[in-house]
Copies of this chain bind each other. A is one copy, B any other.
Amino acid sequence: MFKRNPSLTEQVKSYLKQRIINAEFETGRIPSEATLATELSVSRNTIRDALSRLEMEGVIFRKQGAGTFINEANLLVKTRLEEIVPYENLIRDHGYTPSIRLLGVVQESAGYHSLRTELELNSDTPLLIIDKLFLADDQPVIFTRTYLPANLIKQPYTGDDFGPPIYEFLPKFCQQELAYYLSEIVPLIATPELADKLNLPAEITALLSLEELGHNQENQPIIKAVSYFRSDLLRLRLIRRQ
């Protein structure tokens, strides 16, 4: 039924996820691992790996001796902060229509000393600074500033190439893969500049910002990104486990 590549585990995971989304398991319970293994003609280990991934994503939960069950509650929280997801999805999950405005792309050759230290760059490496604004029903809700060392870029590009998320730009133009962000969550009081960009009300407003250092698979820092969220309009959620 399945071919290799993508891996059997990944295919089984997608297959089961789709069936869950289609509400094909009416009882909220998923067939036993042995049953699935027989039905799909793969070993039970492969089924278990697929189920483990779905459990990590919060789609299902398992109970020894009882069975595997669909996690109805958590299907409601689709975008969670511990996963890298396009901000458009975050906005869409709040019931708004997302749109993006590319505010500008500039190149800086000097300054930004602390940033260059974080990215382990020489003091003369040019930096691309990309400003983007995300809107929910035409109301600004997220402002992001991304710092990309210019020497990473191996292919010619245009400004439009920065419309999609940066982790789609990196493989195409830099032969780099974004493996993870190490992020710091900082609350702050909106500066006049930010209040203007995000169209904030006149009163003093608390904002949430995410200061992130993006790393590749070799664990080297490759990009820096800072995001500012209007948390009165967006809910930033997270699952914490032991």
> Which residues in A have some Cβ–Cβ distance to B below 8 Å?
61, 63, 69, 71, 73-74, 77, 81-84, 167, 178-189, 204, 206-208, 212, 215, 217-219, 231, 235-242
Contact = CB atoms under 8 A, between A and B. Distances in A.
Given A185-B185, A187-B187, A219-B61, A240 B204 contact: no
Nearest to A235: B184
A interface secondary structure, majority: strand
A174 to B, nearest CB: 16
6 contacts: A82-B238, A82-B239, A83-B241, A182-B238, A185-B237, A204-B204
Nearest to A71: B219
A174 B215 CA distance: 42
A9 to B, nearest CB: 13
A241 B82 contact: yes
Contacts of A219: 61, 69, 71, 73-74
Contacts of A84: 240-242
Nearest to A215: B73
A86 B231 CA distance: 26
Contact of A239 (B77, B178, B183): B183
B73 A179 contact: no
Contacts of A178: 242
A238 B238 CA distance: 10
Contacts of A185: 81, 185, 208, 231, 236-238
Given A206-B206, A217-B61, A183 B238 contact: yes
